Amino acid sequence: MARKFLYAFAVLIFLVIAAALTFRLYGDQLMRIALVPSAAFEALPGVGARDYAKPGMWLARPDKPGNPAHWTPPGYKPTVKPRAAMFYIHPTSYLERARWNAPLDDKIANDRAALFLRGQATAFNESAAIWAPRYRQATFGAFLTGQKEAQLALDLAYGDVAAAFDSFLTQIGPDQPIILAGHSQGALHLMRLLRERVAGKPLAKRIVAAWVIGWPISRSADLPALGLPECRTADQAGCILSWQSFAEPADPTLIVDSYNASTGMSGKPRKGTAMLCTNPITGTPNATAPASANLGTLVPSKDMGTATIVAGGLPARCDPRGFLLIGPPPAQIDKYVLPGNNYHVFDYSLFWANVRADAARRLAAFEAR
């Protein structure tokens, strides 16, 4: 499986383009015709927690043969005795317009999701046993339209995520620390999961931290409803981290426009509110860090067949708007960058080694409480 680890960056060019358009309520007319489903929304039967007791419903779980979550670049190894359990929600990997939601057995979508998992969730495999469910994700055309079917598709996808999470809780230890992580569509579902399953519940005390990456979080319109504060210090546990990566000069107009037109998880408008920006190098908000402090970026080989860690290559700083800036476009990653110098698809891999160290540090802080 590791042989084509970053093949996703080559074969998922449409996903990369879609990520740039994620925050738009109305896309270009041609894009809508090409990508927004023309079929009627199908109200499919719900999937329950019992369904997720089946190993086949998971992209990754500790007992899965050939588990993609066990991949590491040279010089790193997954732990053999994980102290925490991690619930990871992958980004959009379904491209079709024949349906609003991906079938659970769609091999192409599942293979793509596994590739994303290797580039993102593996950063946590030193600290946690990783669980990543298959779910009937909304097709990425759902992010290009304001049709009611789009929200119905997202609701269906979230229903699967919630059921998987309920099953996850029954299958791990009753007191085991929990790490939460997601990206893009997965981060959107994770925000709702935090609001509905964690906020105000005893479970909140078991959360080591939540990495809600590649989706904007309003400090005033979202964060109060999520049940955890933002991470203010590098050794804080029970908190939320979030960032959106751009090289300079950055043009996040697409994100800002949609953000200002949207409503937060608290029901309040997001317009004009500050976005949460965690610097993944320092593990603190609104911070600046030099390239020398970057422990390692996950960089693909020229043939896209493998990946290695390159340390000290990229700086990072949170700008006043709440976006994470990485300086001039990095030479080691020169493909599949989105309009406006948006490095959305690389949000985790730009700081893979720092995310790994951050997870270990927060887990140690959690266990020391």
Looking at residue 62, its pLDDT comes to 95
Looking at residue 30, its pLDDT comes to 46
Q: Regarding beta strands 178-183 and 297-300, do their DSSP bridges make them parallel or antiparallel, or are they unpaired? A: unpaired
Contact between residue 281 and residue 270 where contact means Cβ atoms under 8 Å apart: no
Contact between residue 150 and residue 57 where contact means Cβ atoms under 8 Å apart: no
Looking at residue 289, its pLDDT comes to 98
Contact between residue 100 and residue 42 where contact means Cβ atoms under 8 Å apart: yes
Looking at residue 28, its pLDDT comes to 46
Annotate 96-115 with b (16+ C-beta within 10 A) or e (fewer): bbebbbbebebeebbbbbbb
Query: Does residue 14 have a pLDDT over 50?
Result: no
The domain ranges of the chain are 2-368
* Residue position matching structure tokens 């043969």: 65
pTM of the predicted protein model: 0.92
Q: What percent of the chain has pLDDT over 70?
A: 89
* Rounded CA separation 278/284 (Å): 5
Looking at residue 198, its pLDDT comes to 98
* Residue position matching structure tokens 């994100």: 255
Q: Counting every residue, how long is the chain?
A: 369
Give the residue from 211, 341, 352, 181 showing the smallest Cα distance to 281.
Answer: 352
Query: Does residue 11 have a pLDDT over 50?
Result: no
- Residue 341's region, left for phi above 0, alpha for psi from -120 to 50, else beta, is left
* Rounded CA separation 243/283 (Å): 11
pLDDT single digits (tens) 62-114 = 999 989 999 999 999 999 999 999 999 999 998 888 899 999 999 999 998 99
- For residue 231 the two structure tokens come to 């991470």
67 half-sphere exposure, CB direction, 13 A CA radius: 19
Q: How many helices (H) and strands (E) does the chain have?
A: 8, 14
* Cα end-to-end span (Å), the chain: 38
pLDDT single digits (tens) 203-260 = 999 999 999 999 999 999 999 999 999 999 999 999 999 999 999 999 999 899 989 9
